[in-house]
């Protein structure tokens, strides 16, 4: 018996896992570039960047050195009443990368917290100005995190049913498709017109957890223009879509209109340390300035602005300044689209979607996309056996690999995916 896995079973409670009958987890003892190694010496390609975070690959030397250097200077310090150089550097560089209107950076620890902060900013913005706007609009199928506020604006269902009675009211717009856009705009117009809507929150262009569902920038622009017209704060949850994932630095770079608040996390530190950021416009920020202390944003976490995480994030920005990084992003995007053409028309493929380095293949199961659909487990096991760590979302198989992934490694991902789709046909 393996003592580590025995102890794991004895002491550890894993996320998103039914511990009653969960298969043994992978025991990962080494991570290098786009490859993970288990204790038996088997290797796996990290097809989903270790839960969508690891953008530059594992063990990146530049990130490691930046974290080590920072540890020798300041490992951690309170971020209220004190500051440090890496947080300042990160905020300045990020504001330089974001659209001009986004100017003030608030630090937290993960994507869910970044979303909570964004919503608190939006609601308190109106509160501080003595204007009654207490409702929020989100999209069907949204995922914004697992804390209460983030759950409340997300898709309701079996994931959060036990907590639903605590959730605040949210108005949902249908997920935008070609045929329903006019209807959505009409519905949004009716909602915004009530003058009760504080904010609109969306995952721009790609809904991650819903199965990498994609929609058009032009539609989002139209929705944002409508929000502008009725003074509705627009929040972009770019926790997943930032850092080159969509082919551009941020998903908002595909849009003409820009949000008032953006949430960032996941690949922010290159995916090696937890950090969340909520960046707001000066207009939002200004509503908190007052001689009255209670008008401040009274929110903060113990690890707010952690210097090691900030150092990693600055180092990750360095890597994004290298042309090589963008060449890899472009190359992965291009190869994804070639593979897409290759398997388009396969009878078992219901739809194949791609934006930048994200490729999603929806398998026809006849029952729609549900997280627990059986094909998920069959596929997951098949991929592990064939050297891929690829966690499907229900019947959606997807790749969002680290940018360190070589052409040969990408080809292996495509080959195993093709093989899996072929194996389904034989059944
Ligand atoms: C992952 C994710 C979150 C939550 O981030 P955590 O760091 O897991 O809390 C929020 N929004 C989106 C779009 C995400 O993909």
How does pLDDT run along the chain (427 residues), one tens digit per residue? 689 999 999 999 999 999 999 999 999 999 999 999 999 999 999 999 999 999 999 999 999 999 999 999 999 999 999 999 999 999 999 999 999 999 999 999 999 999 999 999 999 999 999 999 999 999 999 999 999 999 999 999 988 999 999 999 999 999 999 999 999 999 999 999 999 999 999 999 999 999 999 999 999 999 999 999 999 999 999 999 999 999 999 999 999 999 999 999 999 999 999 999 999 999 999 999 999 999 999 999 999 999 999 999 999 999 999 999 999 999 999 999 999 999 988 889 999 999 999 999 999 987 666 666 789 999 999 999 999 999 999 999 999 999 999 999 999 999 999 999 999 887 6
Rounded CA-CA distance 121/138 in Å is 16
- 59-to-183, 246, 406 alpha-carbon distances in Å: 48, 24, 16
To test the ligand 1 pocket, which listed residue (48, 49, 144, 203) has its Cβ within 8 A of the most ligand atoms?
144
Q: Is 302 exposed, middle or buried (0-12, 13-18, 19+ CB in 10 A)?
A: exposed
Expressed in angstroms and rounded, the spacing between residue 279 Cα and the centre of ligand 1 is: 16
Residue 2 token pair: 């393996």
Is residue 239 in contact with ligand 1, taking CB distance under 6 Å? Answer: yes
Expressed in angstroms and rounded, the spacing between residue 110 Cα and the centre of ligand 1 is: 7
What is the atom index within ligand 1 of the atom nearest the CA of 203? 13
- 10-to-5, 19, 39, 40, 282 alpha-carbon distances in Å: 8, 11, 19, 21, 50
Residue whose CA is at the smallest distance from ligand 1 atom 15: 240
- Position of tokens 């930032």? 242
Expressed in angstroms and rounded, the spacing between residue 177 Cα and the centre of ligand 1 is: 23
Is residue 362 in contact with ligand 1, taking CB distance under 6 Å? Answer: no
Backbone angles phi, psi at 136, to 5 degrees: -135, 145
Rounded CA-CA distance 247/326 in Å is 8
Radius of gyration from C-alpha coordinates of the chain: 22
Expressed in angstroms and rounded, the spacing between residue 115 Cα and the centre of ligand 1 is: 8
Is residue 294 helix, strand or coil?
helix
What is the atom index within ligand 1 of the atom nearest the CA of 209? 15
To test the ligand 1 pocket, which listed residue (16, 52, 108, 112) has its Cβ within 8 A of the most ligand atoms?
112
pTM value? 0.97
């Amino acid at each position: 018996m393996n003592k580590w896995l025995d102890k794991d079973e004895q002491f550890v409670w894993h996320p998103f896992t039914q511990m009653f009958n969960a298969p043994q987890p992978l025991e990962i003892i080494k991570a290098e570039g786009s490859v993970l190694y288990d204790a038996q010496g088997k290797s796996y390609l990290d097809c989903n960047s270790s839960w969508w975070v690891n953008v530059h690959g594992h063990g990146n030397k530049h990130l490691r050195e930046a974290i080590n250097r920072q540890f020798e200077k300041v490992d951690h310090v309170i971020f209220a009443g004190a500051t440090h150089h890496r947080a300042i550097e990160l905020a300045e560089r990020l504001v330089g990368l974001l659209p001009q209107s986004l100017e003030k950076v608030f630090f937290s620890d993960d994507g869910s917290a970044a979303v909570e902060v964004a919503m608190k900013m939006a609601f308190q913005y109106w509160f501080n100005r003595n204007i009654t706007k207490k409702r929020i609009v989100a999209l069907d199928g949204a995922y914004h995190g697992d804390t209460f506020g983030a759950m409340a604006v997300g898709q309701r269902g079996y994931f959060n049913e036990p907590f639903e009675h605590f959730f605040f009211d949210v108005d949902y717009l249908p997920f935008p498709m070609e045929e329903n856009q006019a209807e959505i705009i009409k519905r949004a117009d009716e909602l915004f017109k009530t003058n009760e809507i504080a904010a609109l929150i969306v995952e721009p262009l790609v809904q991650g957890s819903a199965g990498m569902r994609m929609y058009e920038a032009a539609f989002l622009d139209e929705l944002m223009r409508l929000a502008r017209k009725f003074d509705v704060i627009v929040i972009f949850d770019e926790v997943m879509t930032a850092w080159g994932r969509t082919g551009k630095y941020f998903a908002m770079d595909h849009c003409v209109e820009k949000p008032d608040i953006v949430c960032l996390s996941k690949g922010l530190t290159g995916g090696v340390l937890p950090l969340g950021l909520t960046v707001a416009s000066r207009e939002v920020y200004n509503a908190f300035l007052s001689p009255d202390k209670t008008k401040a944003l009274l929110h903060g976490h113990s690890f707010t602005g952690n210097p090691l995480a900030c150092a990693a994030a600055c180092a990750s920005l360095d890597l994004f300044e290298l042309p090589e990084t963008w060449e890899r992003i472009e190359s992965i995007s291009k190869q994804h689209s070639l593979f897409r053409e290759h398997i388009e028309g396969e009878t078992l493929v219901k739809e194949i979607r791609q934006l930048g380095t994200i490729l999603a293949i929806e398998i026809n199961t006849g029952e729609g996309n549900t997280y627990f659909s059986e094909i998920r487990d069959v596929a997951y096991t098949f991929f592990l056996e064939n050297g891929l760590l690829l966690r499907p979302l229900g019947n959606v198989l997807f790749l969002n690999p680290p940018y360190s992934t070589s052409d040969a490694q990408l080809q292996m991902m495509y080959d195993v995916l093709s093989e899996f789709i072929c194996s389904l046909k034989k059944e």
